[in-house]
Amino acid sequence: MITFDNVNKRYASGQDALVRVSLEIPSGDMVFLTGHSGAGKSTLLRLLTAIERPTKGSILVAGQNLNRLRNGQVPYYRRNLGIVFQNHQLLFDRSVYDNIALPLSVAGCNKREVGRRVRAALDKVGLLNKEKQNPIMLSGGEQQRVGIARAVVNKPAILVADEPTGNLDPKLSQEIMELFTDFNAVGVTVLVASHDLELVARMRRRVLTLQSGQLIYDGVPSREVLPS
């Protein structure tokens, strides 16, 4: 369970990025976070991933109060999370395999286990035949799949994605969303921030909408308002 209780985030610049945000996401849910540019989506994800701290209010993740997390505990906390970025942040001087293996090597996995898990992750995103390639050789959609494989390789309970389809065309975007649906189907809690309202509506999942830092909608959009 993810709980935000009356969370405010004011940056040092004085900008209020989140204002009294309260929400609950039960374990195993798949939820979309939407809103205009500057609405506070990335800030909410940065608080959840403990990149930023709230100014007020509390955030609980699987019973752990993030306000009480000491800086030294943050890397351990993040092992429960898979994080996917829009620009995927792959290392172009290493192979696809090495990019995906990175979080496991950091966690101290042995070589055999790393191989088994990297191939399982590549299999899930449909890129088993690309492990030796350099990510620069891959298409934008494939690079994003590598980013997703890296995010799921240590089997996180929660998968967080910030505009994961930002640079992709509609068909590839839909495929990426379906990948997230597959992970959710096996029990992973999934939270995806996207400003692509059509794509989000088509998924027919719970949607949280932010506007100027406030949560203005929390529900499943009805079929009638969906684009055909």
Ligand X SMILES: Nc1ncnc2c1ncn2[C@@H]1O[C@H](COP(=O)(O)OP(=O)(O)OP(=O)(O)O)[C@@H](O)[C@H]1O
Cβ 17 to ligand X, closest distance in Å?
A: 3
Total residues at interface with ligand X (CB under 6 A): 13
User: Rounded to an integer, what distance in angstroms lies between the CA atom of residue 201 and that of residue 163?
Assistant: 15
Asked if 43 is part of the footprint of ligand X (rule: CB under 6 A), the reply reads yes
Among 195, 197, 202, 214, binds ligand X (CB under 6 A): 195
Q: Closer to ligand X at the Cβ: 37 or 228?
A: 37
Sites for ligand X among residues 65-94 (CB under 6 A):
none
The β-bridge partners of 218 are: 208
Assess contact for 19 and 213: CB atoms under 8 A: yes
User: Rounded to an integer, what distance in angstroms lies between the CA atom of residue 89 and that of residue 224?
Assistant: 38
Cβ 42 to ligand X, closest distance in Å?
A: 3
Cβ 22 to ligand X, closest distance in Å?
A: 17
User: Rounded to an integer, what distance in angstroms lies between the CA atom of residue 82 and that of residue 190?
Assistant: 9
Tokens of 136: 């620069």
Q: Closer to ligand X at the Cβ: 17 or 160?
A: 17
Angle subtended by helix axes 140-152 and 96-106, to nearest 10? 20
143 to 182: interface string for ligand X, x by CB under 6 A: ----------------------------------------
Paired sense of beta strands 2-10 and 56-61, if any:
antiparallel
Assess contact for 100 and 132: CB atoms under 8 A: no
2 to 41: interface string for ligand X, x by CB under 6 A: ---------x-x-x-x-----------------x-xxxxx
DSSP code of 169?
A: -
Asked if 206 is part of the footprint of ligand X (rule: CB under 6 A), the reply reads no
**Site for ligand X, rule CB under 6 A:** 11, 13, 15, 17, 35, 37-43, 195
